[in-house]
Amino acid sequence: MAPTDRYESVAGEHTLDDERLRVLYRRWRAACGSRTMPTRSFVDPVNLADFLGWLFIYDIEGPQPRFRYRLFASAVAARVGFDLTGKLVDDHPIAHVRDSIRHSLDLVVNGRSPVRVSAERLLLGKCYRSEVLLMPLGEADGQVDRILGCQSVPPDMPRQWVLGER
């Protein structure tokens, strides 16, 4: 089974399968108030303590956006054996994962709204599903200047999933 990634706009919490991601989305929506997206101040370790370890923060650099990991999820880093904090998404060592991340981040920037990425992999005779929620953060001008992401994976997911092995 080839890697299958699906990208979709988040029309509401019902769009998300994982309960933790639904909770995070509700908090993001509440922080929006009357704005399209919350400001960077939404990213507060006290406010997001339930999600630490699974959070990614991406900075957006330049007019033709390049994305830099301000924070690479520590739980993911522990599983894959590398931490890309401070590095560009372009530096991700796995080509199809790098391309998927770039594509999903472009969707968030261009749409100025959350995006859900779901993935399926058949590993060791079992189908595993992963889900990522990506949410824009920005200032008063409505431009996205940072993206907050959270990943949800099955607890029994083999290491090959994250590494992109088949």
pLDDT tens per residue, range 18-77 = 999 999 999 999 999 889 999 988 998 888 998 989 999 999 998 889 999 999 999 888
- CA separation for the pair 89, 76 (Å, rounded): 15
Which of the pair, 45 or 154, is modelled with greater confidence? 45
Query: What are the structure tokens assigned to 23, written together?
Result: 């909770």
Per-residue pLDDT tens digits for 118-147? 987 766 777 778 899 999 999 877 889 999
Residue 87 is classified by DSSP as: S
Which pLDDT score is estimated for 3? Answer: 58
**More confident: 158 or 165:** 158
Higher pLDDT, 164 or 24: 24
CB 130 within 8 A of CB 157: yes
Q: Where are the alpha helices (DSSP H) in 9-131?
A: 19-32, 74-80, 95-111
Cα-based distances in Å from 156 to 30, 51, 118, 160: 32, 19, 17, 11
Burial 124-142 (b: 16+ CB within 10 A, else e): eeeebbbbbbbbbbbeeee
CB 22 within 8 A of CB 13: yes
Does the pTM surpass 0.75? The reply is yes
Fold of 4-163: Beta-Lactamase (3.30.450)
pLDDT of residue 159: 63
Q: What are phi and psi of 41, to 5 degrees?
A: -65, -15
1 — pLDDT class (breaks 50, 70, 90): very low
pLDDT tens figures, 94-117: 888 899 999 999 999 999 999 999
